[in-house]
Amino acid sequence: MRLTLPLLVLVMLTPLAVAQPKPGVTDAEFGTAPEIRDPDNEAKPYRPKSKITAYTLVNKSGAWVKILTLGGIVAELHVPDKDGKLGDVVCGFDTIDGYLKDSPYFGCITGRVCNRLGNAKFTLDGKEYAVPANNGKHSLHGGQYGFDKMVWKADASLSAKGPTLKLTYTSPDGSQGYPGDLSCVVQYTWTDANELRIDYSATTNKTTVVNLTNHSYFNLGGHASGTILDHEVKLAADKYTPGDDTLLPTGKIEPVKGTPFDFTTATKIGARIKDIKATPVGYDLNYVHGDKRTAETKWCATVTEPKTGRTLEVSTTEPGVQFYTGNFLDGKVKGKGGAVYPQYAAFCLETQHFPDSPNKPTFPSITLKPGDEYRTTTVYKFGTAK
């Protein structure tokens, strides 16, 4: 067939189709984490000097997520907008240096106990345990050297649901003051339906406490797109655990109705944020949508970004979720591509048992005994508004 000149020019100017990434898992070196010494046991460092690997999980649609062996960090998460354009919707860093020096828990696994433990102590079977106070007088996210600082062993595979990364780590007896050797497994599955499924499990050889979560900072407009104040949020919870001026729960469980904390109907994050009496101003509290862990995941939150049309639905087996709006971000942290993350640059939905549960007898227990298994699941499903 002979081409006319205009058609020939058109063919010559048409860009070649970009190859679609193949579904599966690839890995690459991401840097080296230095040794962290244990001041109480020089022969056994908290973390030996370790090479860090980044695993990239690609599903059948070409959407993908990058996860690090350092802290199980979700470093990148690329999902389509309403026009099919992929965008990275989690805050993070391009190199390991940021995660080692400046990270406000971007994307990591937090434990042995996520969130706050009041006065950095708890009592278990009549014995008081002291843990590091790294958040004023309280302990936050497992202490100074929590699970976010540890290097996890990785095993990648392809499952029927999509590419999977299985991470394992054993926290030794006495680490950060916690009793028992705690053997943990956190499995990320990136499904073909653009779901990031996280399955957590743990066993112990001594009675201990455990409460694990993921601390990803989401901005559905794109990690460098500004604030999340226009995002609309709907939560299943009609109750919350009010906190004191240090953000530690008081032990009460109260209704959200009539407060700025009511998201039982879809509401913009910025609509009532200035009505919150806190320093800094913003949402940083535990929402209650159950009184115990369930066998199957249940919906707990939906977030919609109006410009891109991206949506996030969260379901979990946990009875609570910490909704946090990046109140402590201040524009000083430089992230991927030189992005500056201002206050309210992202939100977190950290599924969990309630903060300070070991010190609040009325809260659901996070005690784990030998012979029992801690097991919980959370699913972050990405889509677009119809």
The full DSSP string for 56-122 is EEE-TTS-EEEEESBTT-EEEEEEE-TTS-EEE-B---SSHHHHHHT-SSTT-EE-SB-SEEGGGEE
Residue 162's closest CA among 67, 60, 22?
60
| Cis bond before residue 112 (omega within 30° of 0) | yes
Q: Please, what is the Cα angle at 72 between 224 and 380, to 5 degrees?
A: 60
Our answer to whether residue 296 is catalytic in this structure is: no
What whole-number distance in Å separates Cα of residue 184 and Cα of residue 368?
Answer: 12
Which pLDDT belongs to residue 44? 73
CB-CB contact of 115 with 141 (8 Å): yes
* pLDDT of res. 267: 98
* Cis ω for the linkage preceding 45 (within 30 of 0): no
Listed residue (163, 169, 131) closest to 50, CA to CA = 169
Token look-up 């706050």 returns 116
The answer to whether 270 and 281 have CB atoms below 8 angstroms apart is no
**CA-CA distance, 63 to 13, in Å (whole number)?**
28
**Separation between Cα atoms, residue 384 and residue 205, nearest integer Å:** 45
Determine which one of 78, 138, 141, 215 is catalytic: 215
Please work out, in degrees rounded to the nearest 5, the angle formed at the alpha carbon of residue 368 by the alpha carbons of 315 and 239: 40
SS3 of 298, please? Answer: strand
Domain covering 24-228+307-384: architecture: Distorted Sandwich (2.70)
Q: Is 309 exposed, middle or buried (0-12, 13-18, 19+ CB in 10 A)?
A: middle
pTM passes above 0.75? yes
Going residue by residue through the chain, which has 386 residues, state the pLDDT in tens, using 9 for 90 and above: 333 334 333 333 434 444 556 889 999 999 999 999 877 666 678 899 999 999 999 999 999 999 999 999 999 999 999 999 999 999 999 999 999 998 999 999 999 999 999 999 999 999 999 999 999 999 999 999 999 999 999 999 999 999 999 999 999 999 999 999 999 999 999 999 999 999 999 999 999 999 999 999 999 999 999 999 999 999 999 999 999 999 999 999 999 999 999 999 999 999 999 999 888 999 999 999 999 999 999 999 999 999 999 999 999 999 999 999 999 999 999 999 999 999 999 999 999 999 999 999 999 999 999 999 999 999 999 999 98
Q: What number of other Cβ atoms are within 10 A of residue 135's Cβ?
A: 17
**128 belongs to the catalytic site:** no
Angle (CA) 145 217 245, round 5°: 70
What residue ranges do the domains of the chain occupy?
Answer: 24-228+307-384
In angstroms, the CA 131 to CA 197 distance is 30
